[in-house]
Chain A
Amino acid sequence: MSKSYDLIVLGSGPGGYVAAIRASQLGLKTAIVERENLGGICLNWGCIPTKAMLRSAEVFHNMKHAADYGLVAEKISADLDAIVKRSRGVAKQLNQGVTGLMKKNKIDVVMGDGTITAPGKLAVKTAKGEEELSAKNIIIATGARARDLPFAKADGKRIWTYRHAMTPPEMPSKLLVIGSGAIGIEFASFYNDIGVDVTVVEMLDRVVPVEDEEISKFLEKSLKKQGMTIMTGAGVKSIDAGDKGVKADIEDSKGKIESHDFSHVIVAVGIQPNIETIGLDQLGVEPDERYHIKTDEYCRTNIDGIYAIGDCTAGPWLAHKASHEGVIAAETIAGGHPHAMDVNNIPGCTYCHPQIASVGLTEAKAKDAGYDVKVGKFPFIGNGKAIALGETDGFIKTVFDAKTGELLGAHMIGAEVTELIQGYTVGKTLETTEAELMNTVFPHPTLSEMMHESVLDAYGRVLHM
């Protein structure tokens, strides 16, 4: 006898478990299938534990600069084992939190590898054997994993993915990070902060290539000032990992290939969706051109009753996008009328040092899209709170449609900007124009005042510059 449900969610990451909670709230009998840890990568191996590590790096960074604040901190050092232990503790706490949420919402948790055998049918290989489940609807939320480089297969010894970098077997002495997206740059920043000699190699002509060009330029300068080596427009040609270290041939932007020695390598060249072993081919679920599952704005695949959310679908590959899609999918299944997802209103945050946060179109993308733009910028050095914090590096940039005043994008770099971006995101979602932002009272003294000034600057009305 197979157990039957209104909804089965395959995968319990921030997309899957949120979808399950929302579905249960809407009265659907729901089960969730997870092969490893409730909470998925985000809670256990991604967003949260890395933030814990980066917090350690930040405190360490501040301790090193204690004298700037009139404080004395002597003989300070970083204990990598203790940092990792704290990070794992944080992940564990949240993992238990999700377990509690599943129980509270009466969601059946089935631990094992799930395969969709037919529309509405799911087989799960559990520790006790195979279990048959059936449901009117299935949400695929299987996420993604790190993409491999064919010549640098991660082994956890010398060649790491994000996962190894989070629980390193030893402290690296000289680290090569391949890829400067959010994941690569966060680990580069972490290890650089705790005293490792770090080199970042980026294939494109700038670091964090999805961000605004000015943000990339500012970050590169800032990271170099902190002692990092950055090679853009460069490619790793080969990796030779031995017992004692790694030899890497790197072609620089001028085409010159040189051999470099490192103790360890982190491969952070993007993600690959986890969709090969869940039975999609037999079902005929269509992938998109990048081999992610193709969905519409309500997360429906081409097969009735099968939905997909999060990293196994088209980007941006962010936890909060997955969670939001989880809600949209659950509400669609329950017969509701959720709003459709608008990619331009999804903020992105990168927790390197300095932090980066953005929402909407970059200046270049806005121009490519045919907009006549008005751009405002305000630097941290002009903000009282930033000076008081001793965090004067960074700026806030806003991009408006000159014709309609629509806020097209906002791009920030500097201390705490990841906590600021939501102000613009709310504004964007409510379809603000420059007028409402100008008319908003920002509290003093806060970093948020820069958000106001940046808007004022776009219209030639900046006050503190």
Chain B
Amino acid sequence: MPINLQMPALSPTMEEGTLSKWLVKEGDTVSSGDLLAEIETDKATMEFEAIDEGVIAKIVVAEGTDNVKVGDVIAIIAEDGEEVSDVEAAPAPKATAKPAVKAPTPAPASKAEPAAAPQKMEAAVDGRVKASPLARRLAEQKGVDLAAVSGSGPSGRIVKADIDSAKGGTAPVKSETATPVPSAAPAPTATSGDFDIPHSTEKLSGMRKTIARRLTEAKQTIPHIYLTVDIELDKLLKLRGELNKSLEPRGIKLSVNDLLIKALAVALVQVPKCNVSIDGDQLKTFERADISVAVSIPGGLITPIVTSADSKSLSQISTEMGDLAERAKAGKLKMHEYQGGTASISNMGMFGIKNFDAVINPPQAMIMAIGAGQKRPHVIDDSLQIATIMSATGSFDHRAIDGADGAQLMKVFKELCENPLGMLA
């Protein structure tokens, strides 16, 4: 039997992707593990491996094709002894086709990975979300992403009640025809007809849609509270200078951010009530701190993760972060490298931003927003002096974290930054 090669779901929320490049051509013999194609998702470009052996009999979807739906047949592999002509005639039924793709290996940190419950992951990987017909239609109408809903029906089937209790607006934006605007309602669209201001338009990229969806979801579903502290940074800067001097022979240069990642991770482990995630009616408390670091990349933002940052050395964190940031900018991160994390850090100090409130990255329950370290007048020992002060604002999911616990985390973070030897020991 010829094998239908289907468009794989490379992330739990992936519905379609771009087949950017074929790495094989018709007639090539492939075996399990061979790279077949590069596929661009809403988040990254990923490589697609074979799990079956055979000859590429036919490439169905040409490279460079956008919006290829998950589950669509993209190529046909003939097994040993099969004629390619047999394959041409073979029907390619979508539903019975054998998924010929190895699921992307989940992050090694699966225990501490709140990004997706295991069953949701599976559901998405085999391309099937169990949901009642009515639930599917309601999800479409309300703009709810089924992959993000956990089902209360038999075997986790998503039913009407699950959609009713889910918040709308989390689904990837569909084309306008999918959600018709009632003609009577005044459409608040700012199309070019409404304004004569010269402008250009472009279609939202997959990443932009994901950012839009996730930020909307976060602000609509998470009651944020914000706690700000001013931190004296001089000791930390001094320590960084000394460490960098001694690390020079190894070619390692610590950034302030590397130290702050470490400080946040250590603080989270010391205040476990802030190292949590709400999952339905359960609260998960994590036993280590995986820090998602906001990295600005062309066309958007991505959050690669420094796993177990609480127990890694500063040089390890620095090296890892350098590699992650570089690959993030090249769009080469693997899914497990940017999905998960127990809390986030976002630093806008380099732009001179004094302080800001960041949006929590669900299902995480906190994010630390770092402002610029600036020389400011500062009262030290009852006299006005000059010190390098950095404002940091933690955003906390108030459903999961009480104000006092959040304040405790901010206090520990401040102490670690002001007495940085504490985070090394």
27 A-B pairs in the complex with CB atoms less than 8 angstroms apart: A339-B153, A339-B154, A403-B141, A404-B134, A404-B137, A404-B138, A404-B141, A405-B134, A405-B137, A406-B134, A406-B160, A430-B132, A430-B133, A431-B132, A431-B133, A431-B134, A431-B135, A431-B159, A431-B160, A432-B132, A432-B133, A432-B134, A433-B133, A433-B134, A433-B137, A435-B133, A436-B133
Report Cα–Cα, A38/B166, bound state, in Å. Answer: 46
Q: Considering residues B137, B138, B153, which has the most beta carbons from chain A within 10 angstroms of its beta carbon?
A: B137
A436 to B135, CA, bound (A): 13
Within 8 A of A (CB), among B107-148: 132-135, 137-138, 141
A432 to B135, CA, bound (A): 9
The chain A residue with its CB closest to the CB of B152 is A339
Chain A interface (Cβ within 8 Å of chain B)? 339, 403-406, 430-433, 435-436
B131 to A, closest residue via Cβ:
A431
B294-326, CB < 8 A from A: none
Residue of A nearest to B141 (CB): A404
When chains A and B are docked, how far (Å) is the Cα of A339 from the Cα of B154? 8
Nearest CB of chain B from residue A62's CB, rounded to whole Å: 40
- In the assembled complex, the CB of B422 is this many whole angstroms from the nearest CB of chain A, namely 47
> Which residues on B sit within 8 Å (CB–CB) of A430?
132-133
Closest-by-CB residue of A relative to B135 is A431
Which 5 A-B residue pairs are closest in the complex by CB-CB distance?
A: A431-B132, A431-B134, A433-B133, A436-B133, A406-B134
CB distance from A366 to the nearest CB of B (A): 15
Q: Which residues of B contact A405 (CB under 8 A)?
A: 134, 137
Determine the distance from Cα of A405 to Cα of B140 in the docked complex, in whole angstroms.
13
CA distance A421 to B160 in the complex (A): 22
In chain B, what residue has the closest Cβ to A407?
B134
B176 CB, nearest partner CB in chain A, Å: 18
Q: How far is the CA of A406 from the CA of B154 in the complex (A)?
A: 19
**B133, B141, B159 — most chain A CB neighbours (10 Å):** B133
Instruction: Give the residues in chain A near B133, CB-CB below 8 Å.
Output: 430-433, 435-436
Residues on A with beta carbons closer than 8 Å to the beta carbon of B138: 404
Task: Report the nearest B residue to A427, measured CB to CB.
Answer: B133
Q: How far is the CA of A432 from the CA of B131 in the complex (A)?
A: 11
Nearest-neighbour CB distance to chain B for A297, whole angstroms, equals 12
CA distance A431 to B137 in the complex (A): 11
Could you tell me the distance in whole angstroms from the C-beta of B139 to the nearest C-beta in chain A?
Answer: 11
List B contacts of A404 (CB < 8 A).
134, 137-138, 141
CB closest residue in chain B, given A428: B134
Besides the contacts A405-B134, A405-B137, what 12 more A-B pairs have beta carbons closer than 8 Å?
A339-B154, A403-B141, A404-B134, A404-B137, A406-B134, A430-B132, A431-B132, A431-B133, A431-B135, A431-B159, A432-B134, A436-B133
Q: Could you tell me the distance between the alpha carbons of A433 and B160 in the complex, rounded to whole angstroms?
A: 11
What is the bound-complex CA distance between A403 and B137, given in angstroms? 10
- Closest-CB distance, A372 to chain B (whole angstroms): 12
The answer for the CA separation of A339 and B155 in the assembled complex, in Å, is 12
Q: Which of B132, B135, B141, B153 has the most CB of A within 10 A?
A: B132
How far does the alpha carbon of A435 sit from the alpha carbon of B138 in the complex, in Å? 14
A405 vs B137: C-alpha distance when bound (angstroms): 8
Nearest CB in chain A: distance from B418 CB, A: 51
- Chain B contacts of A435 at CB under 8 A? 133
- Tell me the chain B residues, 136-192 only, with Cβ under 8 Å from chain A: 137-138, 141, 153-154, 159-160
In the docked arrangement, what's the CA distance between A403 and B154, Å?
26
Q: Which A residues are CB-close (under 8 A) to B135?
A: 431
List residues of chain A with CB within 8 A of the CB of B132: 430-432
- Closest chain-B Cβ to A327's Cβ sits at a distance in Å of 14
Q: Which residues of A contact B154 (CB under 8 A)?
A: 339
Q: Bound state CA distance, A406 and B136, in angstroms?
A: 11
Q: Across the interface, which residues of B come within 8 angstroms of A406, CB to CB?
A: 134, 160
Minimum distance in angstroms from B290 CB to a CB of chain A = 32
Which residues of the partner chain B approach A433 to less than 8 Å between Cβ atoms?
A: 133-134, 137
Query: How many Å from the CB of A82 to the closest CB on chain B?
Result: 48
User: B141 to chain A: closest CB distance in Å?
Assistant: 7
Q: How far is the CA of A435 from the CA of B153 in the complex (A)?
A: 21
Q: Give the distance to chain B from A86, nearest Cβ to Cβ, in Å.
A: 41
For the complex, give the distance between the alpha carbons of A227 and B17 in Å. 70
Closest Cβ of chain B: how far from A145's Cβ, in Å? 36
Q: Which A-chain residue is minimally distant from B136 (CB atoms)?
A: A433
A436 CA to B132 CA in the complex, in Å?
A: 11
In the assembled complex, the CB of B412 is this many whole angstroms from the nearest CB of chain A, namely: 41
Q: How far is the CB of B379 from chain A (nearest CB, A)?
A: 60
A428 to chain B, nearest CB (A): 9
Cβ of A191 to closest chain B Cβ, rounded Å: 43
CA A113 to CA B132, docked complex, whole Å: 46
Interface centre among A431, A432, A433 (most CB of B within 10 A): A431
**Residue on A nearest B153 in the bound complex, by CB:** A339
Closest Cβ of chain A to B57, distance in Å, is 33
Residue of B nearest to A406 (CB): B134
Closest B residue, CB atoms, query A432:
B133
Q: For A431, what are the chain B residues with a Cβ–Cβ distance below 8 Å?
A: 132-135, 159-160
- Against A, the Cβ 8 Å flags (1 = close, 0 = not) of B20-33 are 00000000000000
A residues within 8 A CB of B137? 404-405, 433
B42, chain A: closest CB distance, angstroms:
28
Residue of B nearest to A435 (CB): B133
User: Nearest Cβ distance between residue B152 and chain A, in whole angstroms?
Assistant: 9
Question: B141 to chain A: which residues have CB within 8 Å?
Answer: 403-404
Give the complex CA separation of A40 and B141 in angstroms.
48
By a CB distance below 8 angstroms, the chain B residues around A436 are: 133
Complex CA gap A406/B135 in Å reads: 10
- Give chain B nearest CB distance to A341 CB in angstroms: 13
Bound complex: CA A430 to CA B133 (Å): 8
Bound state CA distance, A435 and B133, in angstroms?
A: 9
Q: Give bound CA distance, A406 to B138, whole Å.
A: 9
Q: Inside 8 A of A339's CB, which chain B residues have their CB?
A: 153-154
Bound-complex Cα distance A51 to B137 (A):
41
Q: How far is the CA of A339 from the CA of B151 in the complex (A)?
A: 13
Chain B residues in 8 Å Cβ range of A432: 132-134
Report Cα–Cα, A405/B141, bound state, in Å: 11
Cα distance, A432 to B137, chains bound together (Å): 10
A432 and B133 alpha carbons, distance in the complex (Å): 6
The residue of chain B having its C-beta at the shortest distance from the C-beta of A433 within the complex is B133
How many angstroms between the C-alpha atoms of A403 and B134 in the bound complex? 11
A208 CB, nearest partner CB in chain B, Å:
28
List, in ascending order, chain A residues with CB within 8 A of B159's CB.
431
Chain B 353-388 per-residue mask, 1 if CB under 8 angstroms from chain A, else 0: 000000000000000000000000000000000000
Distance, CA A49 to CA B141, complexed state (A): 49
For the complex, give the distance between the alpha carbons of A430 and B157 in Å. Answer: 10
Residues from chain A with a CB closer than 8 A to the CB of B153 are: 339
| A215→B159 CA distance, assembly (Å) | 31
- The distance in angstroms between the C-alpha atoms of A404 and B160, with both chains bound, is 11
Complex: A430 Cα to B160 Cα, angstroms:
10
CB proximity to A under 8 Å, residues B382-421? none
Shortest A22–chain B CB gap in Å is: 17
Q: Which residue of B lies closest to A405 (CB)?
A: B137
Q: Compute how far the CA of A404 lies from the CA of B141 in the bound complex, rounded to whole angstroms.
A: 8
Q: What's the least CB distance linking B179 to chain A, in Å?
A: 12
CA distance A433 to B153 in the complex (A): 17
Rounded to whole Å, the gap between the CB of A434 and the closest CB of chain B is 9
User: What's the least CB distance linking B69 to chain A, in Å?
Assistant: 19
CB distance from A212 to the nearest CB of B (A): 21
B160 neighbours in A (Cβ, 8 Å):
406, 431
Q: Pick from B135, B138, B141 the residue with the most CB of A within 10 Å.
A: B138
A155: min CB distance to chain B, Å? 50
User: CA separation between A430 and B153, bound complex, in Å?
Assistant: 10
Considering the complex, give the chain B residue whose CB is closest to the CB of A430.
B132
| Minimal beta-carbon separation of B86 from chain A (angstroms) | 32
